Amino acid sequence: MKPSILSALACAAALILGSCADEGMNTESGNGFGRIRLRGSANGVIETRTRADFDLSTIGVTVPAPGEFALELICPALQFDEEWPTIDDFNTEDELYKAGSYTAVITFGSPDEEGINKPYYYGEEGLTVVATETATAQINAAIANSLAEVRTTEAFDNYFHDATFTLKTASGNEFTFTPRSGESVVPVFVKAATKLTVTGTARRQSQTGEDDGPEIVFAEQSLDMTKARTRHIFTFDAADAGSATLHITLDESQEITVAVDVELNENA
């Protein structure tokens, strides 16, 4: 074969290969492919209005490791939406992904679970996949559900004793608190944007010293809506002897104070 013919064929082959490469890696058209590496981080701190930020790890709340978060990767333009049990599982696969704009959503726990040590973490971050490159993202997840607890003051404990309170959520879960002033109280996690009600009983001091004193019932009190990433503190006080006052502290914004009706329990 003549040299001129060989040269022509070589040039044609080069043009064809170059065209394929350009077509396969054209990021503007979205035909290229790249890799994704992700890492999560947990913010286990509740910001408070009344004191220094509350670190949940101090009461034994689970703080997930960077690779333990569940992952959802979304790209609406490519009609792509897939999930992985953990970020570690995703990174181990080391797959190629079509060029485009993605959103990585990480979670840990469930927004619907309530109780002690039931945190729900949520975070998301956008990232762009470019052909032949590796996109990396650090995704920060914060507490997305709420905390609640019931406390009593020293004034309350001086007038009432053996107090028991029941905190009920809109989901139907009930949690019992038997607080004493000065003692630590373990809060429970509850759903965000839910209603809470508190009822309780206690005994007044004995008038004779020979019995436990009359049992009384505190009328039901409620908070219409909890706030995410907020510690809701129901504090029962008795600044005026014989009466009861409830202070509901919403750490990030306000404190609500209401008078509580006290009724004698005739069946006790």
pLDDT tops 60 at residue 23:
no
Cα 190 to Cα 111: distance, rounded to the nearest angstrom: 8
* 3-state SS class at 187: coil
Sign of the torsion angle spanned by Cα atoms 114, 227, 169, 219: positive
Average pLDDT (188-204) is: 94
Cα 169 to Cα 21: distance, rounded to the nearest angstrom: 59
Domain ranges of the chain: 32-143, 146-264
Topology (CATH) of 32-143: Immunoglobulin-like (2.60.40)
Is the domain spanning 146-264 CATH 3.40.1440? The answer is no
- The reply to whether domains 32-143 and 146-264 share a CATH topology is yes
pLDDT at 245: 81
The radius of gyration computed from the CA coordinates of the chain, to the nearest angstrom, equals 30
Q: Per-residue pLDDT tens for 76-89?
A: 999 999 999 999 99
pLDDT at 239: 77
Contact criterion met (CB below 8 Å) for 175 and 181:
no
Global pTM value: 0.80
pLDDT tops 50 at residue 5:
no
pLDDT tops 50 at residue 10:
no
pLDDT at 14: 44
More confident residue, 111 or 210: 111
Name the residue with tokens 């309530």.
Answer: 114
At CA 88, angle to CA 82 and CA 90, rounded to 5? 30
Average pLDDT (197-219) is: 86
